[in-house]
Structure 1
Amino acid sequence: MLKIGSHVSFSDKGLPSATAEAVTYGSSSFMIYTGAPQNTRRKPIESMNIEEGQAAMNQAGIGEIVVHAPYIINLGSYKSNTYQLAVDFLQEEIRRTHALGVRNIVLHPGAFTDKDAEYGVNRIAEGLNEVLNGTSETDVCIALETMAGKGTEIGRSFEEIAQIIDKVQHNERLTICLDTCHIHDAGYDIVNDLDGVLKKFDDTIGLKRIEVVHINDSKNPVGAAKDRHTPIGSGWIGFEAINRVVHHESLQGRPFILETPWVGKDAKTQRPMYEVEIALLRGNVSERFGESFLSDVERLADFFNKQDIGARSFVLDTWNLLKNDAKAKKADPREPMERLYDLAMEASLFPELTEEQVNQRLVAWFAGAGK
């Protein structure tokens, strides 16, 4: 079965609550932060209810899961206190990951800030050596995430990641988290040349190191170096390209994790599209949502066809408009999904459905479901 899941929250109740949330999306894997991703405050390992959570995972048929390190730690920093905080925290987070029974902790490699890329590569490798040497009692791997190239972050090219790996002593404990939005934004054309991109990765780093894949669409064209995620199908990568990634023979067996943003006009009721995204990629939409769901998607498609609105052309034209026309963006900053949602609501297509349910059908329309 395809190991596909979502990024889920990690409340005070620990692993059981994360598992329960993942189940609502139909996940067969999931990724967690062991606390808030914006800070390094963490509760004791004993409070994570690990045994109860693992029992819940077994009951739900969820096997391999992933931990993600918080964004704010920076192994690439030249500031000694920032660097040491990253080293010390990562060592403790690896021990927490080990206690959870998880193999991979995903890490944004770091940023060189006021130095240069060569300094950043060397500093990150130095930090990884300290972290791995200080946690030799575990078999937890650090999955270096491919980055989009915004600012001074390292990991924006396969070559930079390879340079880091080559400088780390125990690099058998370094794996890779391949992020579709990030490599697209970094300039790798996975839409038109996925095989070529994967061959380049294999030649530079080795496909065997990939142990986690983040699947996200992008709000920006290839090479933009922006890193802005959007629900699958509503961005520049598109459903078909992401579907090819998920089902590519060279990537099978890895957990595929969604990090697509939550959507909705009301912040209090916003929800992610994980459930429908997983069902579309798994190919069991009618089983998950029922045949009436596909009938609704057909109705949506007919409505948009009558207005001469095509899914891909509308998405890309809207992103181009928002990118290239400042006046148009100021007058109407709505993104593609929100504009299409408003059209459907103005026509009263689905008065009985919630905002989340309408958005789920939009995502399915992007994917061509119901045709």
Structure 2
Amino acid sequence: MHIGCHLSSSGGFLAMGETALSIGADTFQFFTRNPRGGAAKPFDKADAEALNAFMDAHSFAPILAHAPYTLNACAADPSLRQYAQDVMKDDLFRMDHFPHAMYNFHPGSHVKQGVDVGIELISQHLNNILHKDLKTKVLLETMAGKGSEIGRTFEELRAIIDRVELSEKVGVCLDTCHVFDGGYDIVNHLDDVLESFDKVFGLKRLRAIHLNDSKNPMGSHKDRHEVIGGGNIGLEALVNVVNHPALKGLPFYLETPNELPGYAAEIALMRSRER
């Protein structure tokens, strides 16, 4: 099982790798910059190369960078869409220094423009950024559907990908809390949910799993993460997720409300339930 958690990037790239290993992880996720926006700190190529060597030495799975929450590729304000484009271009330039890395982003909120307009703007955003030499896989995240979020259904994400010219550069990150809050019953009908995903995308599009419990019931559209086993999804359902034949080869990233000791305990728990 490849499993990690979300780590602070304040200490640098190598420090994140060392922290991940110290809590039993063999991958990790991090924000590329302040999640509420702002400029990224200067890129340290030597630190990036040190992390690459460290990950090779310890057989790490691909790391996952997360775009800031303020990035909205389908904002009504053109200046906000330009900001999203500038941030993602810079982030992808940085991430291409890490072989096999992935970059995850929330598709965006259409803010009363309508789903169809939002889908078109997000696909335009990706067409303006993706290029044939890009090494980093860009992942659209499944969303809970709060407010005017795009991506509550698999079909909405597929509609974006269908409009992306270099669609081979794009994958999907499935968030267990989000899909559950979005109305997909991964507790009682995980096989059916994955069959639906396969019909819409093909399972080859699924590249990463955010492994989270949910504070709210299925279909609530709330997006409130909970610690593993402490919410409405529950431990056994999440154990089924990590052991499912279609998923167990993927990297899992915890985004539960924890500090490092809590993450270490969750990682140990999930490893102990690996089948």
Q: TM-score, normalised by structure 1?
A: 0.71
What is the SS of the residue equivalent to 1:212?
Answer: strand
Higher RCO, Cα 8 Å, sep 6+: 2
CA spacing shift, 1:77–1:48, aligned 2, 3 Å: farther
Give the fraction of aligned pairs with identical amino acids, expressed as a percent. 42
Q: How many residues align?
A: 274
The answer to which structure has the higher helix fraction is 1
Aligned equivalents of 1:63, 1:282: Cα separation in 2 = 15
What is the SS of the residue equivalent to 1:144?
Answer: strand
Is the CA contact (8 Å cut-off) linking 2:100 and 2:135 kept in structure 1? no
From 177, 196, 202, the equivalent of 2:192 is: 196
The amino acid of 1:36's aligned partner reads N
Aligned equivalents of 2:170, 2:67: Cα separation in 1 = 14
CA spacing shift, 1:52–1:154, aligned 2, 3 Å: same
Is the CA contact (8 Å cut-off) linking 2:228 and 2:235 kept in structure 1? yes
From 106, 121, 133, the equivalent of 1:108 is: 106
Aligned equivalents of 1:212, 1:103: Cα separation in 2 = 11
Once the two structures are superposed, what CA deviation does each residue of 1:109-163 show, in whole Å capped at 9, x if it has no partner? 011013111111111111111111xx43322221000000011110000110111
What is the SS of the residue equivalent to 2:97?
Answer: helix
CA spacing shift, 1:151–1:52, aligned 2, 3 Å: same
Aligned equivalents of 1:115, 1:161: Cα separation in 2 = 17
Higher-Rg member (1/2): 1
- Residue 86 of structure 2 is matched in structure 1 by 88
Are 1:35 and 2:33 matched, yes or no?
yes
Is the CA contact (8 Å cut-off) linking 2:61 and 2:251 kept in structure 1? no
The amino acid of 1:51's aligned partner reads E
- Residue 115 of structure 2 is matched in structure 1 by 117
Question: What is the deviation of 1:91?
Answer: 1.1
Question: What is the deviation of 1:275?
Answer: 1.0
Question: What is the deviation of 1:35?
Answer: 2.3
Aligned equivalents of 1:122, 1:113: Cα separation in 2 = 14
Is the CA contact (8 Å cut-off) linking 1:33 and 1:67 kept in structure 2? yes
Q: What are the residue-to-residue correspondences of 1:22-171 with 2, within 5 Å?
A: 22-46=20-44, 49-132=47-130, 135-171=131-167
Aligned equivalents of 2:94, 2:87: Cα separation in 1 = 10
Question: What is the deviation of 1:106?
Answer: 0.5
From 231, 246, 262, the equivalent of 1:273 is: 262
What is the SS of the residue equivalent to 2:96?
Answer: helix
Is the CA contact (8 Å cut-off) linking 2:23 and 2:260 kept in structure 1? no
Question: What is the deviation of 1:58?
Answer: 3.1
Aligned equivalents of 1:107, 1:180: Cα separation in 2 = 15
Aligned equivalents of 1:71, 1:102: Cα separation in 2 = 23
What is the SS of the residue equivalent to 2:111?
Answer: coil
Post-superposition, which runs of at least 4 consecutive aligned residues in structure 1 deviate over 4 A?
none
Aligned equivalents of 1:240, 1:103: Cα separation in 2 = 30
- Residue 234 of structure 1 is matched in structure 2 by 230
- Residue 261 of structure 1 is matched in structure 2 by 257
Q: What are the residue-to-residue correspondences of 1:177-216 with 2, within 5 Å?
A: 177-216=173-212
Q: TM-score, normalised by structure 2?
A: 0.95
Once the two structures are superposed, what CA deviation does each residue of 1:277-333 show, in whole Å capped at 9, x if it has no partner? 111111179xxxxxxxxxxxxxxxxxxxxxxxxxxxxxxxxxxxxxxxxxxxxxxxx
Is the CA contact (8 Å cut-off) linking 1:15 and 1:54 kept in structure 2? no
Is the CA contact (8 Å cut-off) linking 1:3 and 1:28 kept in structure 2? yes
Question: What is the deviation of 1:273?
Answer: 1.6
Aligned equivalents of 2:193, 2:172: Cα separation in 1 = 15
